Amino acid sequence: MKRAAGSGAEPQWVWAKPNSICIMTEKLYYQDSFLTEFTGTVLSCEREKDRWAVVLERTAFYPEGGGQPADHGTLGGAAVLDVRERSGEIVHYCDRPLEAGCAVEGSVDFERRFDFMQQHSGEHIVSGILCGKFHCGNVGFHIGQELVTIDFNAALTPEDVAEVEALANQYIWEDHALAAGFPSPAALAELEYRSKRALEGPVRIVSWPGADCCACCGTHVRSSGQVGLVKLISCQRFREGVRIEMAAGGRALAWCNAIARQNTKISQLLSAKPGETAAAVERLQRELYALRGRVAALEEGDFQRKAEEYAGKGDVLLLEGPMDGESLRKLCGMAQERAGGRCAVFAGSDGSWQYAVSQPGGDLRGLCKELNAALHGRGGGKPEFVQGSVACCEEEIHRFWHTYFSL
């Protein structure tokens, strides 16, 4: 029976029997995604570089695929480091060999599995709601170590993203049951689902009724309530659309807690209530801008007095305490204008200096090259103005300056 993606009705699908699906390894994770302990028979064990590739006749270990990382755990005492699927076989990459023909106990790291299920189910719910509302497609998905990234071929505003987050969490808290399985070819042909395209072999459909219906090979929680929470952390322009960073479940809670701790620390530093930190920062910014204006005015007066000391003296050298690049360039320009010749300003202290040299109408590139070579520096610029840094002492600067202009 045909079912529209995003409709509220439970899907009425004709399921293909699991045994009729031609796969070499029985995938227990499709029967029960919460299964963590199982027994399987080793069909083969081959060394591949520094690991052992183990194939069982049945497994609960999910292989990397569909944007979801592989399960980890143990097989018969061997650590399972990675899991991949090759032509229907699930290959477990272990740190030690297992004897072919022997039955082994398998144990899946459920904390890791459950985290991935929360992220993957949360992504489906978000993507289904977003794509349905804004008539776009999900064109990329990856579960990273800290966050999930989802790419959409649409332009979204911050308000759009906030609305999707609210709708997704409302759906999660309503605790909808998951429907997942392999529809028969006939049922699949009539089924409407997100990002539908021609696929070879059995196609697994994962449905969150009322939110999403999509082909997916990953593992999921049993009901939306087990996702707990989704948080859409950022939305940036990416290629022809946007990339959203998301966290679900335990990751979302950890992210919110980290932000809360930071906000608490900021509120303590600013002597503000946790709910008033933004206003406190804005007040601090206004005060900072006012102070910067006063400092700039004082600096302007100080630079004018310094420049007057060199009026008409031609080539001059000034050594000053540390200052930022803008102030350095300003003082150099003002002093040069009053002195009338080449003006060099070095700002800093022994071992580390920033410099600026100015000569309107001149060509300072030769001087700059020799200065950098003699004073262990680096820098450059235009013929009339050069700037950079040097690693030397004050005496070396004086010696270079007087030697250069006495040639």
Task: Report how far residue 336's alpha carbon sits from residue 185's, in angstroms, rounded to the nearest whole number.
Answer: 83
pTM: 0.75
As a whole number, the mean pLDDT across the chain is 91
User: According to the model, what pLDDT value does residue 21 have?
Assistant: 42
The pLDDT tens digits of the residues spanning 293-341 come to: 999 999 999 999 999 999 999 999 999 999 999 999 999 999 999 999 9
What are the residues facing 150 on neighbouring strands? 141, 244
The pLDDT tens digits of the residues spanning 1-23 come to: 333 333 344 444 544 444 444 44
Task: Report how far residue 259's alpha carbon sits from residue 263's, in angstroms, rounded to the nearest whole number.
Answer: 6
User: According to the model, what pLDDT value does residue 406 have?
Assistant: 65
Does residue 66 register a pLDDT over 50?
Answer: yes
The pLDDT tens digits of the residues spanning 189-244 come to: 888 888 888 777 888 999 999 999 999 999 999 999 999 999 999 999 998 899 99
For 64, other C-beta atoms within 10 Å of its C-beta total 13
Domains and CATH numbers, the chain: 37-108 (2.40.30.130), 114-266 (3.30.980.10), 310-406 (3.10.310.40)
Does residue 79 register a pLDDT over 90?
Answer: yes
Does residue 128 register a pLDDT over 50?
Answer: yes
User: According to the model, what pLDDT value does residue 197 have?
Assistant: 80
For 250, other C-beta atoms within 10 Å of its C-beta total 15
Task: Report how far residue 368's alpha carbon sits from residue 357's, in angstroms, rounded to the nearest whole number.
Answer: 8
The pLDDT tens digits of the residues spanning 333-376 come to: 999 999 999 999 999 998 899 999 999 999 999 999 999 999 99
